Amino acid sequence: MNTFLATALYKILSVLVSLVLFLSPLSSPAQDDPIRRGDGVRLSAALWSDTHMSDYLFSRVKHVKSSVMDLAAAEGLDALVIDGDITENGKPQEFRLMADELAKLSNVGHIIPASGNHDIRLRSFNMTVKTFSEFCETVNPAIRTDKLYYSYEVNGYTFIVLGSTETVFEEAAVSDGELAFLDASLAAATADGKPAFVLLHQPLRNTHNLPDAWGSPIPSAGSVGRDSDRLIYVMNKYENVFLITGHLHSGLGVNNFEDVGKLHSVNLPSIGIVSKDGGYEAAGTGYVMSVTDDSVTFRARDFANGRYLPEYDHSYTLVK
C-alpha cells in the first residue's frame, strides 16, 4: 500500500471513529457541584487549554461542548482563559466553530484567548495574526490586537497574553519587542502589589517534568524553546507573577505547579484531548482560579462532568 493511500485511509478511519463518539448521547455535566463565586473573591476565572477544536475530529468537539455547558451554569465567573491550541489546524472554520460554542456563555464576563502552536504552524504568519485577531474580537469585542500578544484587565487584575512572533512548528519565538512589552506590562501590573497572570501556551524549559513529559531526550522539547531563559529573567524581576501554560496534555497530577525562582508556573491539562500523567487522566479538565486580597487558589475541575477534584487543588499566599 502506498503512503498516500495509507494516509487517506487513516484519515477516513479517524473521522469515522470520531463521528461515532460524537454522535453518542451528550449528557449534561452534573449540577450538584456547580461553579459558584466564594466569599472575598476579587477575581474568578476558568482556566482552559488545548481545546483543539476540529472540523473533522468530532470527539474533541464533544469535550468542548460538555465543558461549555458546565460554564454556562456558573455563577459569578468573571473570565474564561483559553491558553492556546484553540484549534487543531488554525483554520478559520475551526475558529468559527469555537466562537459558536463560546457564544453560549453570556454569563461569563470576559473571554481571553491565547494562541498555541496548532493555531499558527500551518499558515503564513500574517494570515495567522489576521485569523486570531478576528476570533478574539468575535468572542470579546474589547480585544483589538494586530499581534499575537496583548494585555487585558479584569477587575483591576492584568492578564498578559504572549504568542509567537513568527511561524514555528512546536516552540514559540519571542522577539525583543515582545519581551520589552512583557517587562513594561509586569511593572505596571504589579506596582500596587496585585498578582499578574502571564499566558503562554508552551511551558518553560525543564519545568513540569520536561523534557520527559514530551517523550524526548532533547532538552528544549515541549517547551517555549530558545527564549525560555530570557522569559524567566524578566518574570523573576517582579513579585506575585503567575505563568499559566498548556501544551503538554499532562492531566492533573504531580507536575501542574512549580516555582522557578520567584515565578509561580502553572501547567494546565487539556480540554479537547485525553491527558496522560498518572493522575487524573481525562479530557475536559482545567482549573477555576480564585483571587482574594491575600491569595490565589487553583481549584481543579472536570468541566466535562461538572465536578471539582479537590485532591489536585493548589493555593499560593501573595507577597505583600
CA distances from 298 to 191, 278, 292 (A): 23, 20, 12
* pLDDT averages per 10-residue partition of the chain, 320 residues: 47 45 57 90 98 89 94 97 96 96 97 96 91 97 96 98 92 96 98 97 96 89 95 98 96 94 97 85 96 98 96 97
Nearest in space to 119 (alpha carbons), one of 92, 86, 151: 86
In order of their start, the domains of the chain are 41-317 (3.60.21.10)
The per-residue pLDDT for 22 is 46
Distance from C-alpha of 224 to C-alpha of 173, rounded to nearest angstrom: 8
Gyration radius from the chain CA atoms: 19
DSSP bridge partners of 111: 80
The per-residue pLDDT for 1 is 46
The per-residue pLDDT for 25 is 53
Phi first, then psi: what are they for 81, rounded to 5°?
-100, 135
Answer yes or no: pTM beyond 0.85.
yes
The per-residue pLDDT for 27 is 61
